Amino acid sequence: MTRQVVATSPIEGQKPGTSGLRKKTPVFMQPKYLENFVQAIFNGTGGAAGKTYVLGGDGRYFNDRAAQVILRMAAANGARKVIIGQNALLSTPAASNLIRKRATDGGIIMSASHNPGGPKEDFGVKFNTANGGPAPEGVTEAIFAETKSLSEYAILESADVDLATLGTTMLGEMEIEVVDPVADYAELMESIFDFGAIRALFASGFTLRFDAMHAITGPYAKAILEETLGAAEGSVVNAVPSPDFGGGHPDPNPIWAKELMDLMFSSEAPDFGAASDGDGDRNMIVGRNAYVTPSDSLAVLAANASLVPAYEGGLKGVARSMPTSRALDRVAESLGIACYETPTGWKFFGNLLDAGRATLCGEESAGTGSDHVREKDGLWAVLFWLNVLAVRKQSVEEIMADHWARFGRNYYSRHDYEAVDSEAANGLMNALRTRLPNQPGREVEGMVIEAADEFAYDDPVDGSRSEGQGIRILFAGGGRIVFRLSGTGTEGATLRVYLEKVETEVAALQDNPQNALSGIISAADKLAEIRARTGRNAPDVIT
Ligand code: G16
């Protein structure tokens, strides 16, 4: 087993985005591409010598090969130990839990989340720090800086490590512990929720369909929902993770989880439907005839948190990403707790959670979580809903109607224009930016613009400032449009248009969101000249 120091040179474009480095798989598989980025992670975080890391991924194509490379590089860089999920599998929240529970120095997660996987699809690598959360911007900037000056990387020459067998082995001087990916996570869930109440719910005949979308949550959901909580066998579908997610797009939203949506709106619908994504941090909640938007789900969970054992003492505060609807703000107001508004990206919640300022966090992009880990957590959100349903003994539809009647409804939708020409997308954003000062007071589609700005965030804990986080147009009466370019796409630019309108009239609470938002939707096109600048007549994805 020899340690090799391989000469290399910087590779362009290794800048981590919203959540780590995501590229097309063939890009990641190019000679030295993965190696350069992994060496940059080690160099940018003070070296690997003597450190302990967690390693795992969502099982997508190249996950197994990348894991072997990362292990050999960690060993060659002097790491003390790597704790790795069996067969290099770990859901993102399970990885976050292990990083915290075992008090490690951080972890490397191999995933491109909800993006499709396969030889021609997407792959990704991200570094999480010792708190279990995605590296904050200061760290990702240091890693990026390393990618631009790298001249060599270190790797051990060795045979593949057996990752199928649980237990401890050595790779050179480094210890490798292969762990059951599910066990610690399942234990954590049991410490948070009222498993007795959920068990009783299933025993009473309550039915569920959980769509794991051929991705990582299959084994977790089978073990927890079916084997521990007593959901009928077969309630978890598409439960075997596959390297290309069964050829699908493992993004739990009404478009990509259409089969589940169709079922939930049919006469065969079970009581509750849910789905998670490629790496298990996103969730979709849908009741019988009732799709719950991620923003509404976050608000409902906050309003009902006292029904869950871990949160019955009250929430310290809540946080949402800026484009997430402001339904949460009204719940926070009624609870008399702070509601923080952060830029898009789970990494921005880390400081608030660590400082004990927030207990629950969430994003419109199907992410909800709490201070139990430092990632969003798909299955946790599903269990939270089940706990609430078990206690309230109402349907999802009834819970939503009740919530809107109490707090009003924030009609909400996101329109995505994918793989848009990057120049056109930047041109659209620049034009909006230039016109910002002239917007207040302007009338569009019968609505008056009250304020317009580009969101910047001053972290209240460490004082860091993040600029250029989305353009906001705020209308009198609570309507809002946000324009942002995605930081997770791997092809061209993805323009995200976030649309919101507040309704408090009881008679108008049950409308179709696209209908309720029609004025806001045409205002967005007028303000940003979407059709003219992108050449698109309609969004690719509406959530
Ligand atoms: C990642 C981040 C989320 C973010 C989402 C969308 O989610 O962790 O915080 O909201 O991307 O980001 P963007 O709008 O920049 O594409 P995931 O599930 O992909 O890790």
Question: Do 470 and 380 belong to one domain?
Answer: no
pLDDT of residue 506: 80
Q: Rounded to the nearest 10 degrees, what angle do helices 327-335 and 396-407 cross at?
A: 70
Question: Do 390 and 466 belong to one domain?
Answer: no
Q: How many domains does the chain have?
A: 3
Q: Read out DSSP for 267-336?
A: TT--SEEEEE-TTS-BEEEEETTEEE-HHHHHHHHHHTGGGSGGGTT--SEEEEETTS-THHHHHHHHHT
Residue nearest to atom 18 of ligand 1 (CA): 113
Q: Which two tokens stand for residue 516?
A: 């309720």
Spacing, Cα 169 to ligand 1 middle (Å) = 35
Ligand 1 atom with least separation from CA of 134: 8
Residue nearest to atom 3 of ligand 1 (CA): 345
Assess contact for 76 and 107: CB atoms under 8 A. Answer: no
Question: Do 128 and 140 belong to one domain?
Answer: yes
Among residues 180, 199, 220, the one where a domain terminates is 180
pLDDT of residue 510: 84
As for ligand 1, residues whose beta carbon falls within 6 Å of it are 18-19, 113-114, 281-282, 344-346, 363, 365, 367, 486-488, 496
Question: Do 173 and 197 belong to one domain?
Answer: no
Ligand 1 atom with least separation from CA of 282: 18
Question: Do 173 and 253 belong to one domain?
Answer: no
pLDDT of residue 491: 80
| Number of Cβ within a 10 Å radius of residue 84 | 29
Question: Do 461 and 492 belong to one domain?
Answer: yes
Domain that holds residue 124: 2-180
Assess contact for 524 and 501: CB atoms under 8 A. Answer: no
Q: Does the structure show a pLDDT above 80 at 178?
A: yes
| Number of Cβ within a 10 Å radius of residue 405 | 12
How confident is the model over 342-346, as a mean pLDDT? 94
pLDDT of residue 202: 98
Query: Which of 105-109, 252-256, 425-429 shows the lowest per-residue confidence on average (mean pLDDT)?
Result: 252-256
Question: Do 287 and 276 belong to one domain?
Answer: yes
Spacing, Cα 199 to ligand 1 middle (Å) = 33
pLDDT of residue 511: 84
Spacing, Cα 347 to ligand 1 middle (Å) = 10
Assess contact for 61 and 31: CB atoms under 8 A. Answer: no
Question: Do 328 and 252 belong to one domain?
Answer: yes
Question: Do 146 and 246 belong to one domain?
Answer: no
Q: Which two tokens stand for residue 33?
A: 């591409």
pLDDT of residue 504: 85
Question: Do 394 and 441 belong to one domain?
Answer: no
Residue nearest to atom 14 of ligand 1 (CA): 486
Ligand 1 atom with least separation from CA of 111: 20
pLDDT of residue 335: 97
Mean pLDDT, rounded, of the chain: 96
Spacing, Cα 127 to ligand 1 middle (Å) = 15
pLDDT of residue 18: 75
Cβ-Cβ contacts under 8 Å for 532 (sequence gap 6 or more): none
Q: What is the pLDDT of residues 42-54, one digit of tens each?
A: 999 999 999 999 9
Question: Do 103 and 171 belong to one domain?
Answer: yes
Among residues 130, 148, 180, the one where a domain terminates is 180
Q: Any idea what the CATH number is for the domain that residue 156 is in? A: 3.40.120.10
Among residues 129, 147, 180, the one where a domain terminates is 180
Q: What is the pLDDT of residues 357-415, one digit of tens each?
A: 999 999 999 999 999 999 999 999 999 999 999 999 999 999 999 999 999 999 999 99
Ligand 1 atom with least separation from CA of 363: 10
Respond yes or no: is residue 464 known to be catalytic. no
pLDDT of residue 370: 98
Greatest mean pLDDT among 39-53, 495-509, 529-543: 39-53
Residue 402 Ramachandran class (φ > 0 left, ψ -120 to 50 alpha, else beta): alpha
pLDDT of residue 242: 95
Question: Do 289 and 391 belong to one domain?
Answer: yes
Q: Any idea what the CATH number is for the domain that residue 520 is in? A: 3.30.310.50
Spacing, Cα 17 to ligand 1 middle (Å) = 9
Q: Pick the catalytic residue: 113, 242, 370, 486?
A: 113
Question: Best of 253, 322, 346 to mutate for ligand 1, by most ligand atoms within 8 A of CB?
Answer: 346
